[in-house]
Structure 1
Amino acid sequence: MTDVQSPRPGGGSTLDRFFGVHAAGSSVSTELRAGLTTFLTMSYILFVNPQVLSTAINVPNAFVQLLMTTAIAAAFGSIVMGVVAKYPYAQAPGMGLNAFFAFTVVQGLGVPWQTALGAVFVSGVLFVLLSVLGARQAIVQAIPTSLKFAITGGIGAFLAFLGLRSAGLVVSNPATLLGLGSLTAPTVWLALLGLLIAAVLMKRRVTGAILWSILATTALAILTRIPVYAGGPNGALQPFPGFDGRFLGIIDAPIWPSALVGQLDIVGALGLGLLSVVFTFFFVDFFDATGTLTGLSQRAGFLDEKGEMPRARRLFAMDGLAAMFGAYMGTSTTTAYVESASGIGEGGRTGLTAVTVGVLFLLSMFLWPLASAIPGAATAPALILVGALMMEGVKNVDWDDISEGLPAFLTVLTMPLTFSIANGVSIGVISYCAIKLLSGEARRVSPILYGVAALLLVRYVWLMGE
């Protein structure tokens, strides 16, 4: 498999020729719409990431500076993914990894946030090195087809769970861990209405069904002033406060995050006592991002008959480069976003989709208060619907063979229940190798996969020791 895409001769616009839009069976308008859809489904990170990291990073005007850093890191990661790797995958500071950064490393272990940023940077360097050497794509190629379909389905289940939680349909329950939310809550019925609109429009083959659903439910929330926006007293939801006759009040000039940029401490991160932190950042993001990129590629139809991705080295290297740049700018690990599936669902197939997302993140630095006009209840239906669509590939798993079916099932189930794509991939790989080895089919498994399974076991044993 070559790592370079052959140029397509012929006419077309500059964007068409550079990204190979028509060669991918798409159009410029479709790519732009897909990028907007992806941005809308992941724009929550502009507000959530600063909320998480500001608990650990103490600088003047921390929230606004972290918001700017988040936007810049997401823009850079998405643009290099689109321009260099030419895939429609957006990148931004990852959820889960930011919580590990803030609550476990900085607050729990007492590591200075500058040193923690250094650890993120070092893990990004390792990503790039392994990508250039071909190690990451070799691991992807060693994953059996059944697990690749299961990873896609697991990501779908994870997306749907995120959507259900954002909508308030699924809530925590002290007796059963999870339970059904209040069906009378505004977030719930607004999300259900949005899901119905998206499903009907998609069934009727309306172009941009997911995007129209997001815009329609957002307009309804603003016009009816139902309480679906965060920011009320004591954490309560409130009506959208922006359109009260002061439209210019929701436009603000960006500020440069000077207190964060270049503050990482690489030398401190390389100290012997922090190597375990570097390893954890590296390990979790490796399998999180690898699982995400593999699942998205399978969903978009990029994998060939051997399960290989074109331009794989560039794809994985851009993931590592984004992590390095994000750490320099002052945020936790930047990685590929599973919400990119919403843009793929809208027909995004080239790097133009990712570049569109990046440009929108740059614009959000000027118009960032406008992003708050999209409530979580409006983007939740997109996550649920795309999650359902991503379950399609699970039908290709050989469920009659327990050595194929059980690891696939564990992969799908573990991702949403542990809130981790990395855990789902890990449990799937370990169980697959163990069953094949003990049932006399050891030679059907790649030696590389056995090595990966061994490393995963070592990690879990180490976590138990901790």
Structure 2
Amino acid sequence: MGFVDKLNAKVADSAFGRWFRLEGSGHPKSRIGSKFTTELRAGLTTWASMAYIISVNASIMGDTGGTCVCTADDCTTDPAYNTCLGTLRRDLITATAAVSCLSSFLMGALANLPVGLAPGLGLNAYFTYSVVGFHGSGMISYREALAAIFLEGWLFFILSLLGIRQWLARIIPQSIVAAVAAGIGLFIAFIGLQSGGLNVIGGDTATLVGLGGCKPEDYIEGLPNYCAHRVLQNPTVWLGIFVGGILTVFLMLYRVKGAILIGIVLTSIISWPRPTAVTAFPHTPSGDEAFDFFKKVVAFHPLETIGNVIDFNYSNPKVWYALITFLYVDILDCTGTLYSMAKFAGLRDPITHDFEGSTIAYCVDAFSISMGALMGLSPVTAFVESATGISEGGKTGITAMTTGLAFFVSIFFAPIFASFPSWATGGALVIVGALMVRNVLEVNWNYIGDGVPAFLCLIIIPLSYNIAYGLIAGIITYVLLNFIPWLIRRATNGRIQPPGYEDAERWTVPPGGFVPLWMKRAAKGDSRFWMEPTEPTSETSAAPVKDIESSHGEHEKDTNSAHISAETNSEKVAPHREV
């Protein structure tokens, strides 16, 4: 045995390895293929894919103006205000790294899931431009918006404890669930191809979307990322494609460990020197500012303007409007993402449709939302970029803990970690999108009543830049296309029904019930009701639901083999799982 193998065996054969259910730990539900060093590598890969949020979130939320006060008619000419904005953005960098560290570490340590958390893109844009407004010109103040998010987190916590969020995820038809996972894959790939990634795709004034990748001087005036001519001429596009993309895929073809992380880091290192055509620090005002920050290497900036500044003004009805909006968007967005990541990692129970540690996972997410509000941030959510670490072999919470620790280091090395260029991670996002889109194979395409809702869900997620909107479209369409034929069939005693109706997926609530198992154990007087049983119980041994699990038949042939394939991340798990 080599050093790595001995280390993996030693860690697995310890209380630490048993807690995280590493392969060889002896835990009855150990996760086959999980190894300590693989989890570390997967965590670093997830962090490398998420690191951009440190600078991007600060840039977006800085437009709110935070707690800075503008005294001039034109805020851009107010020196004191602009100085405060500079401090605000540095505060936001520290806060983003800190809350990402806390939330990701807790998700791994308590829920044992390989999922990283951070302030969500989309949610931060809604917070900034729709709720608070550009430089505070929106419907409520920055401080009041934080109060809405703080309360949202605790409401989510209650919903999670009661099992409502888990139940909502479990009753969604499985074709929709598969479409959400595939739609997230397309969403990730779309992000990776746009200006937030490789910049292969840009804007077009006629078709809205077209080829991009031109040099800044070739943009249409006043429309960044809209190319007037000479598309795909920017050298950074081709650096990202060939080093961050093609090279990474070649490494994956030959099973090189850490291929995605290697591609991201190598592309970044090539992009850091200034006198090159692919530099991440061009000789522009913004490039000079970024390079000055990069040269600091180590820099810690304590919170000065946004720490614990919440205004609990719940008498303002607009605060409640913002709260309700955050609730319905975030509950679908984060719930769908967590569910899809657990499924991608092979941790979903094929019978109950729940995943291990779901109650704790949703509680950690909810707690992190409220803690993020105390640090002055928009809602924290599960990141779809977690799929990069999962594709590297991450199966346990050690992956998320490693991601959290990397974010902790980022607090002090923010100049380095905030300088990963977008084209360094763009290729990784496209690759992971390709891995996730295979979930379309699980959609019931044989019946149009299942196929059309799944397709709408699949296509609206990337085009609307919102997971929740795609899920809403899929569910509403599913209900319309299936409830009315069901009524007609019942009214005619089965004489009138659509052709192929026998192939339709039945919307049946899976076994396990509405009440979470920790409540059932507490009601029976179990003093350790919060602990998941290591052996199957009658509550988790329900018979398979044939209608829902028809697409998983090959995995039900041997329900006693708790085998999770490390090569395909397919769901080959035993049905005896915790709900």
1:173 equivalent to 2:223? Answer no
Quote the residue 1:207 is aligned against. 257
Which residue type is aligned with residue 16 of structure 1? G
Q: Is the 8 A contact 1:225 1:239 kept in 2?
A: no
The answer to whether 1:106 aligns with 2:132 is: yes
**2:209 partner SS:** strand
Q: 1:451 aligns to what? A: none
How many residues are paired up? Answer: 434
- TM-aligned CA deviation for residue 45 of structure 1: 0.7
Q: Measure, in 2, the Cα distance between the counterparts of 1:311 and 1:270.
A: 37
- Map 1:261-410; keep pairs closer than 5 Å: 261-266=307-312, 268-269=313-314, 271-306=316-351, 307-410=353-456
Note closer, same or farther for the CA distance 1:113–1:241 as it changes in structure 2 (3 Å cut): closer
User: RMSD value over aligned CA atoms?
Assistant: 2.3
Tell whether 2:295 aligns with 1:233: no
* Residues 1:231 and 1:129: Cα distance change in structure 2 (over 3 Å): farther
Give the alignment partner of residue 153 of structure 2, picking from 121, 124, 133: 124
8 A Cα contact 2:175 2:454, kept in partner: yes
Secondary structure at 2:63 match in 1: coil
Does the CA-based 8 Å contact 1:227-1:240 persist in structure 2? no
C-alpha change, 1:73 and 1:337, in structure 2 (3 Å) is: same
CA distance in 2, matches of 1:343, 1:410: 28
Q: 1:234 to 1:417 in 2, by over 3 A?
A: farther
User: Among 147, 154, 161, which residue is 2:183 paired with?
Assistant: 154
Q: Deviations over 1:234-285 (max 9, x none)?
A: 66x789947xxx99x332331221421211123x145333211100011111
Q: Which amino acid aligns with 2:157?
A: V
Contact 2:239 2:278 in 1 (8 A): no
Task: Tell me by how many angstroms 1:438 deviates.
Answer: 1.7
CA separation in 2, counterparts of 1:15 and 1:369?
33
Mapped pair 1:218 → 2:257: no
State the alpha-carbon separation in 1 of the partners of residues 392 and 131 from structure 2. 38
* Aligned equivalent of 2:54: 46
Instruction: Work out the percentage of aligned pairs sharing the same amino acid.
Output: 36
Provide structure 1 residue ranges, at least 5 long, that are not aligned to the other structure: 1-9, 449-466
Asked whether the equivalents of residues 146 and 398 of structure 1 are also in contact (C-alpha less than 8 Å), the reply is: yes
Distance 2:285 2:297 in 1: 26
User: Are residues 11 and 217 of structure 1, via their aligned partners in 2, closer, same or farther at CA, if it must alter by over 3 Å?
Assistant: closer
Residue by residue over 1:199-244, the C-alpha shift from the partner in whole angstroms, topping out at 9 and shown as x without a partner, is 1111111111111111222233235733352675266x789947xx
The CA deviation at 1:356 is 0.7
Moved more, 49-58 or 14-23: 14-23
Which one of 229, 232, 241 corresponds to residue 183 of structure 1?
A: 232
> Which residue of the partner structure matches residue 19 of structure 2?
18
Q: Which runs of 4+ in 1 moved over 6 A?
A: 237-240
Larger relative contact order (Cα-Cα within 8 Å, sequence gap ≥ 6): 1
- TM-score of the aligned structures, taking structure 2 as reference length: 0.71
Contact 1:433 1:445 in 2 (8 A): no
Q: Contact 1:263–1:330 at 8 Å: present in 2 too? A: yes
Please point out which of 103, 111, 132 is paired with 1:77. 103
> Hey, what's the Cα distance between the residues in 1 that align with 2:400 and 2:459?
29
Q: Larger radius of gyration, structure 1 or 2?
A: 2
In the alignment, the residues of structure 2 paired with residue 309 and residue 129 of structure 1 have an alpha-carbon distance, to the nearest angstrom, of 19
Contact 2:159 / 2:165 at 8 angstroms: preserved in 1?
yes
Deviates more, 1:13-22 or 1:382-391: 13-22
Q: 1:6 corresponds to which residue? A: none
Residue of structure 2 in register with 1:416 after alignment: 462
Q: What secondary structure sits across from 2:393 in the alignment?
A: coil
Tell me the distance in 1 between the aligned counterparts of 2:12 and 2:186. 41
Q: Secondary structure at the match of 2:139?
A: coil
- Aligned residue type for 1:287: L
Q: Which runs of 5+ in 2 are unaligned?
A: 1-10, 24-29, 69-83, 213-230, 491-505, 511-579
Structure 1 406/11 Cα, relative in aligned 2: closer, same or farther at 3 Å? closer
Query: Which letter does structure 2 place at the counterpart of 1:206?
Result: V
Higher normalized helix content (fraction of residues): 1
